[in-house]
Amino acid sequence: MRHVFLVCMLVLGLAFGFLGFVSNVSVVRAWTGTVYIRSDGTVEPAGAPINTTDKVVYRLWENISVNSLMAKGIVIERDNIILDGNGFTVHGSKFQLTTGVYLEQRNNVTVKNLNVEGHTIGINLHQSVNIKIQGCSITGNTWGIDLKYSNSSIIIGNNLADNGYALRLGSSSIHNTVSRNNVTGAGDGIIIQENCNFTIISENYLNGDPSVIATGIAISASENKILRNTITSYGAGGISLTYASKNLIYGNDITLNAAAGINLYEYADNNNVAGNTIAWNGYGIRIYMASNNKIFNNVFYKNGLNIEIEIGSGNVFNGGYPRGGNYWSDYEGEDRYHGENQDVPGADGIGDYAYVTDSTIDEYPLMAPLNLTYVGAWEGTDYYISVASNSTVTDILFNPELGPYLRFNVTGLDGTTGFCRITIPKAVLWTENSWYITVNGQKIENYLELTDEENTYLYFTYTHSIKTITIQGTNVIPEYSPATLLTLLLLTTTLAVTTNKKPKSFVTRIKFLNFFVDIFWRKPCPDKP
């Protein structure tokens, strides 16, 4: 009997303990239904958790739940407004085919600080222009953000996680910008479908899952710019182009993708692929039925196979002389000569012999990887300064307001010889006489200067330790607006802070990624398409 009493007391204690636990669990409140921001500025229905005082800024004050078939969480019918999610969430159901936020035929609307979770389409733009989606968290949807027939819009600074497809531009959506978004999860990243031209995809971070057949950035359109993105760990490829022409793929870090870093598939013709770091992918670049692409000034490092060409003609792997070709980590040539035929005594940072494989000839292979620095945009043109060096390059400083000079630090093993090959756009920094180059304040007299229509190329050597290099011209880009100047000042500050905390040189990245690869990564080498 005593045993029965003890058992009963134990059961009652557990029951009360469970009830106490349940009572302490916070339940997320959510208003249920669809909220309409009508064209006259009113919010319907009455009591919906969005309010406004001026019919311009609308703020959420509670979560919204959407759980009926094909329902929408927030429908915006008014132009020239701001929807501030205020950190609240629009919950949905992929099984019920719900949409989080819906805009159709809208102009000049901003959606910011909103969480959108669990829908078939998180945010849907249809036939709209001048829309901005900023600072939102868009997670667990089939389609994170979907644009159709929507132009001149900006998708910036959002977190898109665990969506089947993070972002799609479809149905002739043109002149859109997708910048500084964080895209993670096993699904496809950014998709640019046919006729979605003149898009800028820049400075996004995309991290996938190499075991899933998905692509970081997929392009089936023309005249788009894919700039300075980080794309890693996708199963089907970092960047894939199909039926895509005249695109610029520039300055991206493309690493650890199970298939290829860049796929140039059927009729991906006349594209420029330049200035990218392409490392530890199954293939560096795979070409299948693609022709007349120009591939130069890239870094190819420890890919399963750097280049594979199955079908394709007229693809060129250098930018001519003196721009040069690509850096290949397995190139074993030397550099004693310069000139278009590499027959003039004196080094120039370009190998004296071509880099040749079964599928590739690079007549002007670079002797060191490039460090690219974005220095600004003027009159619609992006400008970069690049440093190819066997040193670790840090603290790159260029600011037109400070004067016509470029400064950076180099580091190497004490007593060894370092070299730099610097590419400077003539439209950004130039000299009317000669360049004044110093290493730790000591002027260098013996340097090589080469030019083409667009750039000046400077080559010189020095003895290693830690050195500061300054390159002084006489003129710097003369025309820049206050907004551009502010951007440059912020860029300069960012470069200084970034390089002090985590140097952005290729050598530094290589050391870190080598460690990562050796411990965690066993890269497959997939079959041909």
Q: 208: burial class by Cβ within 10 Å (0-12, 13-18, 19+)?
A: buried
Q: Which amino acid is at 49?
A: P
In the prediction, which pLDDT does 510 show?
Answer: 52
- What are the CA-CA distances from residue 487 to residues 47, 86, 172, 293, 482 (Å)? 43, 27, 31, 33, 9
Q: What's the per-residue H, E or C state across 213-237?
A: CCEEEEECCCCCEEECCEEECCCCE
In the prediction, which pLDDT does 13 show?
Answer: 45
Strands (E), 1-158: 30-32, 35-37, 43-44, 50-52, 57-60, 63-65, 72-76, 81-84, 89-91, 99-104, 107-112, 115-117, 121-126, 129-134, 137-139, 143-148, 154-156
Name the token pair of 83: 């929807």
In the prediction, which pLDDT does 49 show?
Answer: 98
pLDDT-flagged residues of the chain (< 70): 1-28, 478-529
In the prediction, which pLDDT does 328 show?
Answer: 98
Question: Tokens 């470029």 — which residue?
Answer: 406
Strands (E), 275-340: 277-279, 283-288, 294-296, 299-301, 305-311, 327-328, 337-338
In the prediction, which pLDDT does 527 show?
Answer: 39
In the prediction, which pLDDT does 513 show?
Answer: 52
Name the token pair of 441: 């304040």
Contact 395, 499 (CB under 8 A): yes
Question: Tokens 């300064």 — which residue?
Answer: 385
Contact 157, 173 (CB under 8 A): no
HSE toward the beta carbon, residue 381, CA cutoff 13 A: 11
In the prediction, which pLDDT does 304 show?
Answer: 96
In the prediction, which pLDDT does 479 show?
Answer: 52
CA pair distance 70, 100, nearest whole angstrom? 10
Alpha helix positions (H), 417-467: none
In the prediction, which pLDDT does 471 show?
Answer: 97
CA pair distance 455, 421, nearest whole angstrom? 12
Question: Tokens 């439209």 — which residue?
Answer: 427
Give 331-342 as a DSSP string: ------EETTTT
- Using CA of residue 367, residue 369, residue 375, residue 380, what is the dihedral sign? positive
Give 396-414 as a DSSP string: EE--TTT-SEEEEEEE-ST
pLDDT in tens, 381-394: 899 999 999 999 99
Bridge-partner residues for 347, per DSSP?
none
In the prediction, which pLDDT does 378 show?
Answer: 84
In the prediction, which pLDDT does 509 show?
Answer: 53
**Total residue length of the chain:** 529
CA nearest to 398, candidates 418, 380, 416, 372: 372
Helix (H, G, I), strand (E, B) or coil at 475: strand
CA pair distance 497, 491, nearest whole angstrom? 10
CA pair distance 35, 76, nearest whole angstrom? 9
Record the pTM. Answer: 0.86
Name the token pair of 43: 């919010």
In the prediction, which pLDDT does 367 show?
Answer: 98
Contact 33, 44 (CB under 8 A): no
CA pair distance 43, 529, nearest whole angstrom? 52
Per-chain mean pLDDT for the chain: 88
Number of helices (H) and strands (E), helices first, in the chain?
Answer: 3, 54
CA pair distance 143, 90, nearest whole angstrom? 15
Name the token pair of 358: 């079964």
CA pair distance 210, 235, nearest whole angstrom? 4
